[in-house]
Amino acid sequence: MADGKKSRANVGVYGAADGMISPETNGEHQPAGCKTRDGRPWFPTSQGVVVITPQSLNDTEATEVVAPVIIEQVVADGEVVHGDDPASQNPKSRIQNPKVKLAPGRARVLRIRYPANSFADPRRVRFRYRLAGQDHDWRDATDERVAYYTDLKPGHYRFEVKAANPQGVWSESVGMFAFSLAPYFWQTWPFYLVSVVGTIVLAVWLAVAVENYRLLWQRQILKSEERQALADERTRIARDLDYDLGTALTGLALELDVIRGETQGGLTKATRKATQMSSIWPK
């Protein structure tokens, strides 16, 4: 475009506000327009011919002043925090450039309204805006006079908007509105620090608790093994005692049997001798 010197062209739209008797052109038949030798384009309309002088347009673009953009109203979650609103009870909302500090969670839906007047045709004014801290670049040009932002994170923001006249000339002044969104306590760095320290302490406590449980479990196992070993030893001793006692009792029984046998043998001999003696002595 333009021999590769420009990548974008400013396009102007003209209507009755620019002096046209009728904005309806007759483009059904050819030619729909022509250019005369002096460089002026001619276009047929339903009410006559429209002639455009490019030199006059250039002069108008160079001399026309673009109306400054004003931040008219800022609404956060249905409550006016800046701007002229009769229903608003916030006195700071009527200050031109207040230092607005929004409470935590107050930017779920943020609506910013910004008008810019034009003596030619206000409907043809174009806007570009951005929210520093959220947008990386300017938004595409639009004729909308309101911007919406949702679910903003805590931090500092600055809304900037600029306007262009119907000929595409952008204003040098920028309308601005700065505000900050406070965080919840769990979104602050002290909470993060406490959380990290608490996590470390909890991890150490868990490690110590696990180690203590492991040692206690090992002690229980050792005690159980000791009790089992003691029971086994008692069983062995009892078994040995039973064996020794049984052996001793068996030997004693044998000795008693021997003694009993000898005692019975002696009695038998004595009885026999007494019998013999009685048979010798007369009765």
Q: What is the pLDDT of residue 46?
A: 76
Would residue 97 count as lying in a domain? yes
Q: Which of 184, 217, 252 is the last residue of a domain?
A: 184
pLDDT digits (tens, 9 = 90+) for 18-30: 667 777 776 566 6
- Indicate if 124 and 154 belong to the same structural domain: yes
Q: Could you give the percent of the chain with pLDDT greater than 70?
A: 69
Q: Read off the pTM.
A: 0.57
- Indicate if 220 and 169 belong to the same structural domain: no
The band of 166, judged by pLDDT with boundaries at 50, 70 and 90, is confident
- Indicate if 180 and 192 belong to the same structural domain: no
- Indicate if 176 and 202 belong to the same structural domain: no
pLDDT for 117 beyond 90: no
pLDDT digits (tens, 9 = 90+) for 89-113: 444 444 444 578 888 888 889 999 9
- Indicate if 241 and 154 belong to the same structural domain: no
Would residue 13 count as lying in a domain? no
Would residue 268 count as lying in a domain? no
Would residue 68 count as lying in a domain? no
pLDDT for 161 beyond 80: yes
Q: What is the pLDDT of residue 50?
A: 80
Would residue 63 count as lying in a domain? no
- Indicate if 241 and 167 belong to the same structural domain: no
Would residue 281 count as lying in a domain? no
Cα-based distances in Å from 213 to 81, 124, 218, 221, 224: 58, 77, 8, 12, 16
- Indicate if 114 and 212 belong to the same structural domain: no
Q: What is the pLDDT of residue 179?
A: 92
Would residue 26 count as lying in a domain? no
The band of 87, judged by pLDDT with boundaries at 50, 70 and 90, is very low
Q: What is the pLDDT of residue 148?
A: 94
- Indicate if 104 and 139 belong to the same structural domain: yes
Q: Where are the beta strands (DSSP E) in the chain?
A: 34-35, 41-45, 48-51, 73-76, 79-83, 100-102, 109-113, 126-132, 146-150, 155-164, 175-181
Q: What is the pLDDT of residue 90?
A: 46
- Indicate if 153 and 196 belong to the same structural domain: no
Pairwise CA distance, residues 133 & 264, whole Å: 125
- Indicate if 165 and 250 belong to the same structural domain: no
The band of 65, judged by pLDDT with boundaries at 50, 70 and 90, is low
Q: Which of 184, 217, 244 is the last residue of a domain?
A: 184
Helix (H, G, I), strand (E, B), or coil: what is residue 137?
Answer: coil
Instruction: Find how far residue 48's CA is from the centre of its chain.
Output: 64
Q: What is the pLDDT of residue 164?
A: 85
The band of 43, judged by pLDDT with boundaries at 50, 70 and 90, is confident
145: domain range?
73-184
> Based on the number of CB atoms within 10 Å of its own CB, is 39 exposed (0-12), middle (13-18) or buried (19 or more)?
exposed
pLDDT digits (tens, 9 = 90+) for 175-192: 899 999 999 888 888 888
The band of 199, judged by pLDDT with boundaries at 50, 70 and 90, is very high
Would residue 10 count as lying in a domain? no
How many domains is the chain built from?
Answer: 2
Q: Which of 131, 149, 184 is the last residue of a domain?
A: 184
- Indicate if 165 and 208 belong to the same structural domain: no
| CATH number of the domain where residue 87 is located | 2.60.40.10
- Indicate if 117 and 89 belong to the same structural domain: yes
